[in-house]
Amino acid sequence: MRIFLTGATGFIGSALVPELIEAGHQVIGMTRSDSGAQVLSAAGADVHRGTLEDTDSLRIGAAKADAVIHLAFDHDFSHFVENCEKDKRAIAALGSALAGSDRPLLITSGTGVGSRDHGQPATEDVFNTSHPNPRIGSELAGSTLLEAGVNLSVMRLPQVHNPFRQGLITPLIQIAREKGMCAYVEEGRNRWPAGHLSDVVRLYRLAIEKGERGARYHAVGEEGVSAREIADALGRGLKVPVVSIARDEAQAYFGWMAMFAALDMPASSALTQARLGWQPTGPTLLSDLNEARYV
């Protein structure tokens, strides 16, 4: 297939490009920069100049493709709500270029949207429309396209990791450096799901090749790693004390990360594994944290 990929030079996208090409697909990678264009060309992908803000560029890229994977997202959390709205507009633009065809569109969301009850793992068959995370807008935009007949499916991400980046844990490392200690909230029993980068990109490929219209997939290799375990690993790597803090101290320590720091967010991928024959085999989150370079 000829696949249009947004976010093609990002953390996941730069690993997904060779995964798709090695499987025999032709990749059209979107980038805004000359350096990004050089990276994509060197990897064997075609270059499409565009941005999330330029919805015309998104429509043009999607119109040239047999399938679309939407990975790009602006991770500036100081403007998180606005960036979620921008993602909704981007999804609508991509979908408009695929309307009236059976060409698949695979969008990206987070596993938390599949959480029904506190403490219970999020599952693929749940879409919690009252979830407080503004990123829910991505799936709401997808639902609108589904109702209009677009062949859309959703990839929900946990903390995607390798030894160099670990999702929301990466900013925790910077916070711990600045504070001179690594903190967790209360007993640190809240859990975050995780998926190794190699497993995640393989799942994106399987989902665009074999996915079903309306399906939701969880790129989860580990259902939940506790905040205490994560803090202990970071403390060892950074050689700083690991401490428990009260819930009302979270804002002062974590800053913008306080909204996530105490959340219990386990997630299952059982349905994903059964539907696509996907088996995660990559290193665990704690293994990658133990291998990370903290200097």
| Per-residue pLDDT, 205 | 98
Q: Is the pLDDT of residue 222 over 80?
A: yes
Instruction: Measure the CA–CA gap between 131 and 109, rounded to whole angstroms.
Output: 12
| Per-residue pLDDT, 152 | 98
Q: Is the pLDDT of residue 77 over 80?
A: no
Determine the average pLDDT of the residues in 233-242.
97
| Per-residue pLDDT, 281 | 97
pLDDT digits (tens, 9 = 90+) for 242-264: 999 999 999 999 998 998 899 99
State the pLDDT confidence band at 80, using cuts at 50, 70 and 90. confident
**pTM confidence score:** 0.96
Determine the average pLDDT of the residues in 225-237.
97
> Within this chain, do residues 72 and 207 fall inside the same structural domain, yes or no?
yes
| Per-residue pLDDT, 294 | 81
Q: Which of 167, 281, 172, 179 is nearest to 232 (CA)?
A: 172
273 assigned to some structural domain: no
> Within this chain, do residues 40 and 71 fall inside the same structural domain, yes or no?
yes
> Within this chain, do residues 33 and 100 fall inside the same structural domain, yes or no?
yes
> Within this chain, do residues 138 and 241 fall inside the same structural domain, yes or no?
no
**Which residues span the domain enclosing 67?**
2-158+195-221
> Within this chain, do residues 116 and 183 fall inside the same structural domain, yes or no?
no
Q: How many domains does the structure of the chain reveal?
A: 2
> Within this chain, do residues 216 and 228 fall inside the same structural domain, yes or no?
no
pLDDT digits (tens, 9 = 90+) for 133-150: 888 999 999 999 999 999
Instruction: Measure the CA–CA gap between 50 and 260, rounded to whole angstroms.
Output: 31
Task: Supply the CATH number for residue 92's domain.
Answer: 3.40.50.720
> Within this chain, do residues 124 and 169 fall inside the same structural domain, yes or no?
no
Token look-up 């490392």 returns 173
| Per-residue pLDDT, 133 | 80
235 assigned to some structural domain: yes
Task: Supply the CATH number for residue 256's domain.
Answer: 3.90.25
271 assigned to some structural domain: no
Q: Is the pLDDT of residue 181 over 80?
A: yes
Determine the average pLDDT of the residues in 86-107.
96
The DSSP annotation for the chain comes to -EEEEETTTSTTHHHHHHHHHHTT-EEEEEESSHHHHHHHHHHT-EEEE--SS-HHHHHHHHHT-SEEEE------GGGHHHHHHHHHHHHHHHHHHHTTS---EEEEEEGGGG--STTSPB-TT---TT-S-TTHHHHHHHHHHHHTT--EEEEEE-EEE-SS-BTTHHHHHHHHHHHTSEEEETT---EEEEEEHHHHHHHHHHHHHH--TT-EEE--SEEEEEHHHHHHHHHHHHT--EEEE-GGGHHHHHGGGHHHHT----B--HHHHHHH-----SPPHHHHHHH----
Determine the average pLDDT of the residues in 74-94.
89
274 assigned to some structural domain: no
> Within this chain, do residues 123 and 166 fall inside the same structural domain, yes or no?
no
> Of all residues in the chain, what percent carry a pLDDT higher than 90?
88
Q: Which of 245, 242, 272, 271 is nearest to 257 (CA)?
A: 245
pLDDT digits (tens, 9 = 90+) for 26-56: 999 999 999 999 999 999 999 999 999 999 9
| Per-residue pLDDT, 68 | 98
| Per-residue pLDDT, 76 | 81
Q: Is the pLDDT of residue 160 over 90?
A: yes
24 assigned to some structural domain: yes
18 assigned to some structural domain: yes
| Per-residue pLDDT, 79 | 80
185 assigned to some structural domain: yes
Compute CA 115 distance to the chain's CA centroid, rounded to the nearest angstrom: 16
> Within this chain, do residues 106 and 6 fall inside the same structural domain, yes or no?
yes
State the pLDDT confidence band at 131, using cuts at 50, 70 and 90. confident
> Of all residues in the chain, what percent carry a pLDDT higher than 70?
100
> Within this chain, do residues 53 and 171 fall inside the same structural domain, yes or no?
no
Q: Which of 135, 158, 9, 4 is nearest to 70 (CA)?
A: 4
pLDDT digits (tens, 9 = 90+) for 99-128: 999 999 999 999 989 988 777 899 999 998
> Within this chain, do residues 256 and 204 fall inside the same structural domain, yes or no?
no
278 assigned to some structural domain: no
Q: What would the two tokens of residue 220 be?
A: 């989860």
> Within this chain, do residues 59 and 90 fall inside the same structural domain, yes or no?
yes
State the pLDDT confidence band at 78, using cuts at 50, 70 and 90. confident
